[in-house]
Amino acid sequence: MILYDEQLIERSQAHIDIEDRAYQFGDGIYEVIRVYHGRPFYMNEHLKRLERSAREIRLQIPYSLEKLNALLVELIQQTGLTEGNIYLQISRGTAPRNHAFPKEARPLVIAYPQPSQRPIQELQQGVSTITTKDIRWLRCDIKSLNLLGAALAKQEAVEQGCKEAIFIRDGWVTEGSSTNIFFVREGKIWTHPANHLILHGITRQIALSLAEKLQIPVQLEAIREEKIFEADECFMTSTTMEICPIVRINGQWIGNGKPGPITRQLQQEFEKLIE
């Protein structure tokens, strides 16, 4: 079962036209929503961000967020998804190929479940990463389907046996190819401010509110590439990776090479949210 426009249908019944604008231009937006114990996690926040992405690219979501929410809940129930993600995307629709927006295309909503377990080993042991040049456009705050910059970076990481690529723009750490990046130094958390250069991650926001709850000071400031190895701890956040320690960057250990105490505290608090 998948969601196609406003109906739940069999995946084999869905068809995507060769002139769908998502397919030809990456002209659309998406969300990845985590499901724990059969319940969507922070669904409202994801739908709000979807609405914002739609507004920023001037795409009209074809029906209300309330209806979309209800359809996604029904999709989770009908497919029996207990642990995994819902992938949701909206394309601007199908029309004869032309860069300018079509006048009459109806945006196409699709969503489907992706069962998966939590990345327990990575969460416990931490992951290795590389740095790479941030070649993406200047509206990284929009969760658009244009993911080529991210895909190239992730591939580079994978080819080096790493889990994530950390983007560097003009010498500043921005974010990961599909995660937000945080550093800890002398008890304080540093992360890039939520502007046009990063995606405003839902998990980033959760981590920041957990830090506040734990009274850990936060500096919303980017860090310089050459300061990375002065950090005591590093971690990344995303819907699928949760709050995940980064223990190595470009083959060099961060701190003592083990997940740090502040990262651990945040992870423990996060666990309580998903019980």
**What is the binding site for ligand PDD (CB under 6 A)?**
32, 150, 175, 178-180, 199, 201-204, 237-240
Q: What are phi and psi of 209, to 5 degrees?
A: -75, -30
Record the tokens describing residue 88, joined without a space: 């949701």
CB 34 within 8 A of CB 85: yes
Element housing 52 (H / E): helix 43-56
Residue 61: which residues within 8 A CB-CB, separation 6 or more? 50, 51, 54, 68, 90, 107, 109
**Residue 154 designated active-site:** no
Q: Which is catalytic among the residues 48, 133, 143, 188? A: 143
**Proportion of the chain in helix, strand, coil states, percent, rounded to 5:** 30, 30, 40
| Closest alpha carbon to 99 in 26, 36, 160, 42 | 26
Instruction: Give the three-class secondary structure for 187.
Output: coil
Record the tokens describing residue 262, joined without a space: 């502040």
Record the tokens describing residue 225, joined without a space: 């590439």
Q: What are phi and psi of 2, to 5 degrees?
A: -135, 160
Known catalytic residues?
143
